[in-house]
Amino acid sequence: MPDFSIFNNLSIKTVFIGQGIDSLLAQINTEQDYMIALFDSEKRGVIWITDDVTAGHCVFVSDTYGVNKDKLLKVFNPNIKTLFLWHIDGVMFTKYSKCDCALLHDRLMHLIEFKANAKNESDDSIQANYEKASEQLALTFEKFEELYKNHGQDIFRVFDDIDAMIVFDRTVPQDDAYQKNIVSKFSNRTLLKLSFGNELKIE
Phi, psi of 105 (to 5 degrees): -155, 150
Number of domains in the chain: 1
Domain carrying residue 169: 5-201
Q: Is the pLDDT of residue 170 over 60?
A: no
First to last CA, the chain: 21
Q: Name the pTM for this structure.
A: 0.94
60 close to 86: Cβ distance less than 8 angstroms: no
Q: What percent of the chain has pLDDT over 90?
A: 68
Q: What percent of the chain has pLDDT over 70?
A: 93
Residue-wise pLDDT for 138-159, tens only, equals: 999 999 999 999 999 999 999 9
Residue-wise pLDDT for 98-110, tens only, equals: 999 999 999 999 9
Residue-wise pLDDT for 52-93, tens only, equals: 888 999 999 987 876 777 789 999 999 999 999 999 999 999
